[in-house]
Structure 1
Amino acid sequence: MVSRVIPVDPFDLVVIGATGDLAQRKILPGLYRRHLAGQMPPEARILGAARSDLTEAAFRAMVADALAAHVDAAKQHPAEIAAFLKRIGYVAIDVSGAAGWGALKAALRPDVVRAFYFSVAPGLFGELAERLHEHGLATPQTRIVVEKPFGRDLASARALNATLAAHFAEHQIYRIDHYLGKETVQNLMAVRFANILFEPLWNAQYIDHVQITVAEAVGVGGRGAYYDKSGAMRDMVQNHMLQLLCLIAMEPPWHFDPDAVRDEKLKVIRALQPVPAPDIVRGQYVARDPAPGGAGYLHDAGNPASRTESYIALKVHVANWRWTGTPFYLRTGKRLRARTSEIAITFKEPPHSIFDDARGWRENVLVIRLQPNEGINLKVMIKEPGPGGMRLVQVPLDMSFATALGEDGTDIPDAYERLIMDVIRGNQTLFMRGDEVEAAWAWTDPIIAAWEARGDRPQPYDAGSSGPEDALMLMHRDGRRWREIRE
């Protein structure tokens, strides 16, 4: 099956911070792939904006290098790259001053969708919104795209929301979480709400527990200084993982409409119970000798006294009729055994087994795999082939769609590609609303405040392992086990 490409309307997209890592690694290569797919009309234009004093030719050369480094070789067609680069312009601006804003305004068209992607440090988000308004770049068709982190606590998130709201309406603000742009995440909603098969079973009566894992094999690397002020709770749980939990736990919205979907997600966040200390495990990776892949966290962060967690596991409960009694286990960490992100929904055992071979019994598990190989499968029990009686074995019913949009799956759009095109369309379904962000911080802040008040130190865990021993006990004491972390 070939994916259907629906072109968007003409637009001017300004990538502020266009010389930075995110723009060069994700945003600009993603835009090229949308150009190659035919989704951009001929009139679409992309403007880079940054402090660097570059000529347009020099910036285009920089973009060409980014495409060579981050676009699959099979998609690097010289004629298409040349055509894409013709869409590209560049303006040097001073975010904190007046330089360049007049030139940027003159380069934009008044009669098309105008989007500004804030690919800059979070501390500049509010200032950028003020500059756009001050220099007359905000029009009724203007949209702004704001990267995470959106604040570092409830107070800062509220302050940033207030600053943005002073210059833009909520329907113009796109708080991006690239996890929501993944094909598998969107198919989770399709599996739930477009099929009668699962929805009657999607509750505490039939689901034993849910595991959400986001494991990374790399350490904090060059992000050490930033990460040490953030930690796994702020960097991953408060945004990415809560969004995944919401999609699993939310009630069916009345329609696949931006506010209808976000209303239901907000209800889930507000229904999250406080998490007691015994249901939280924090860890820091340490390097053993020899240590393949690098040093320990304290070295990577450049802070020998750091108490910041590079790993966290939590047992979370949603206090509503659908989910009372069903725990959600969340874990995420750096320098773990493998890079993998998945949601595993484990169903309860049948109330009575008619088979004698109970030793081989396994629960039904629906696994939604986000990376590295996107797909969905359902593990069910069947008879083991061959003579010798009724012996049971667990096998996966593969519902993977990783190859559905192309022979090898490479035609599935990257999350950033999809989300940027949604910005141009004006579709906010996969973006966080201001009250969602604040509700997530309202739940997260007391957890962080409690361990800071106690002076807790993260538990050490070996780089390349599955995390701290106490994270295993978090599951074992409930008679459950974490799924194996593997690629």
Structure 2
Amino acid sequence: MNSTDESRHPFLKGLSKHRGAPPTVVVIFGASGDLTARKLVPAIFNLGVDNLLPGEFHLIGYSRSEIPDEEFRSAMDQAIEEHSRRPLNKEIWERVRQHTTYHAGGYGDPESFARLAEKINKIEADLGRDVQRLFYISTPPSVFEPIIRNLGACGLAEAHLNTKLASKVIIEKPFGKDLESARHLNKTINSVFEESQVYRIDHYLGKETVQDLLVQRFANAIFEPIWNREYVDCVQITVAESLGVGSRGGYYDTSGALRDMIQNHTMQLVALTAMEPPVSLDPESIRDEKVKVVKAIQPLELKAEGGDVVRARYANGLVNGQPVKGYMEESGIPEDSSTETYAALRLSINNWRWKGVPFYIRSGKRMARRASEIAIQFKRPPGILFSEGNKFDVASNTMVVSIQPDEGVTLVMNSKIPGLETRTQPVKMHFRYATTFGSNTPEAYERLILDAMVGDSTLFIRGDETEASWKLITPILEHWKACGSHGLEEYAAGSWGPLASERLLWEKGHQWRRSG
């Protein structure tokens, strides 16, 4: 890898370290589920294509259903053909396929875990060398606890502890549903695993543009000196989906936008945008700064109407020109539901860098388009020049980090319109990943699974960070529960959310930017 390639890497770590992944057995709990087929196995296949899997690699699928080994392998073949970013290469996949097996058992059944431990110990004995155990929990949160406790009871959690081959566990969100449950989950995890063995995964942190945010900030001298309250007017973070709840209505109604998107994905973007420079690129140094900034967010003002929070649900409307039904008409939604499909928050960070700079965050379903972005809006120059009537169209300089669907960075500047008189208009300078680096970039899960195998926890969430985030969010949930449907707004499907969310910005002299 040359220096140019290395400079593109968000944490300046070359592939040479990744190629040193130790012999590993990966066990996927929930192997018959959708995530395994759509993301996890295609990610493992693509790591194989890139020669980033260890020479001794075994994959075990664990689920309740009785599935013969060959049937499971065939299902994974099909998953790669349907969902991989690259076509199935049978020669490369065969190296993993021949070491892929299936293990049926209940998540609360100690005997099934004892048999799993025997299977892994036999793999290790046959290889004649120690192997790392990597457990990926891709199940409903209701079975997180029995899986973790059984991994401890059968001895798998403590295998090769205090060595580079110590067992690791990857846990998919949600990490609790409020502060109390998050603390309980962390207590359960830490009763079995050391925190250094735990990898709480949020796939947003595996996206190239999210990782690139730190490079944009700390590797470019033109940005970091003005990334503060002296120059930044406000920060807007949008995570919008055009899809509705679909067939997940029953599940979604127990969650809502605040739990489903704001507490995890969106708060991660806040932390990376607002964090102080870490003292090094060491994973713990970066995670320390993320926790500090989340803890610095002030408690929100909560009112049935007004305050720092707005919630709403979508009504019928048009999305991409097609009529769609409202949330209350979706399958599985109770008649007395007060669940929000949209949430917007106005955050205040009480530290030296950001005092007085509002952070506006929003997330919703059935919005105008799918778009996830971070917009840093800078203060306008003094209104001395270029302020004469409507002759000069001068916009705030804005840096927009686009996370999806088109990864890249846009800088909004003001420029003179060609002509004999001086007139201005805003223009955009675009950088797109697909244009510069090609469109076939690695999927987020590829990066995250690889990092877990080599023991790099940079892009994973620490237990104290989940609790700090829930400490901010839980009072909102409790307030909404007490209010019932009072204060729950509506917005037309295909719009950018309720009018009430504009108030959050109007009160501070801002307005939502048009995303996308």
* Alpha-carbon shift at residue 293 of structure 1 (Å): 6.2
Match of 2:504 in 1: 474
Match of 1:362 in 2: 395
**Counterpart Cα distance in 2 of 1:248 and 1:162:** 29
Among residues 76, 88, 110, which one is paired with 1:63 in the alignment? Answer: 76
* Alpha-carbon shift at residue 296 of structure 1 (Å): 1.9
2:57–2:96: 8 Å Cα contact kept in structure 1? Answer: no
Q: Does residue 387 of structure 1 match 2:400?
A: no
Q: Does residue 171 of structure 1 match 2:210?
A: no
Secondary structure of the corresponding residue to residue 156 of structure 1 = helix
What do the CA deviations read for 1:289-346 (whole angstroms, capped 9, x no partner)?
A: 9993643212324212100100011111101111111101100001111111000000
Alpha-carbon distance change, 288 to 59 in structure 1, aligned in 2, over 3 angstroms: same
Secondary structure of the corresponding residue to residue 192 of structure 2 = coil
Q: Percent identity?
A: 41
Query: TM-score if structure 2 supplies the norm length?
Result: 0.89
Match of 1:283 in 2: 312
What do the CA deviations read for 1:114-158 (whole angstroms, capped 9, x no partner)?
A: 110000011111111111111121212100011111111111111
Match of 1:15 in 2: 28
Q: Does residue 245 of structure 1 match 2:270?
A: yes
* Alpha-carbon shift at residue 179 of structure 1 (Å): 0.8
What do the CA deviations read for 1:178-215 (whole angstroms, capped 9, x no partner)?
A: 11111101110011112221111011110000000000
1:298–1:305: 8 Å Cα contact kept in structure 2? Answer: no
Match of 2:127 in 1: none
The one-letter code of the counterpart of 1:303 is P
**Counterpart Cα distance in 2 of 1:220 and 1:305:** 17
Match of 1:418 in 2: 447
1:84-483 equivalences under 5 Å are 84-108=96-120, 109-110=123-124, 111-138=130-157, 139=159, 140=161, 141-276=166-301, 277=303, 278=306, 279-288=308-317, 292=322, 294-300=324-330, 301-355=332-386, 359-384=392-417, 386-405=418-437, 408-410=438-440, 412-455=441-484, 456-483=486-513
Root mean square deviation, CA, Å: 1.9
Alpha-carbon distance change, 118 to 390 in structure 1, aligned in 2, over 3 angstroms: same
**Counterpart Cα distance in 1 of 2:173 and 2:101:** 26
**Counterpart Cα distance in 2 of 1:360 and 1:253:** 39
The one-letter code of the counterpart of 2:119 is A
The one-letter code of the counterpart of 1:56 is D
2:133–2:168: 8 Å Cα contact kept in structure 1? Answer: yes
Secondary structure of the corresponding residue to residue 322 of structure 2 = coil
* Matched positions, count: 481
**Counterpart Cα distance in 1 of 2:514 and 2:117:** 53
Q: Does residue 52 of structure 1 match 2:65?
A: yes
* Alpha-carbon shift at residue 12 of structure 1 (Å): 1.0
Larger CA deviation: 61-70 vs 353-362: 353-362
Query: TM-score if structure 1 supplies the norm length?
Result: 0.94
Alpha-carbon distance change, 87 to 373 in structure 1, aligned in 2, over 3 angstroms: farther
1:337–1:485: 8 Å Cα contact kept in structure 2? Answer: no
Alpha-carbon distance change, 353 to 166 in structure 1, aligned in 2, over 3 angstroms: same
What do the CA deviations read for 1:49-103 (whole angstroms, capped 9, x no partner)?
A: 111111110000110111121123x533333333442232211121111343233
The one-letter code of the counterpart of 1:106 is E
Unaligned runs of 5+ in 2: 9-13, 125-129
The one-letter code of the counterpart of 1:223 is R
**Counterpart Cα distance in 2 of 1:372 and 1:329:** 21
Secondary structure of the corresponding residue to residue 214 of structure 1 = strand
Alpha-carbon distance change, 318 to 148 in structure 1, aligned in 2, over 3 angstroms: same
Larger CA deviation: 338-347 vs 290-299: 290-299
**Counterpart Cα distance in 2 of 1:234 and 1:144:** 23
Unaligned runs of 5+ in 1: none
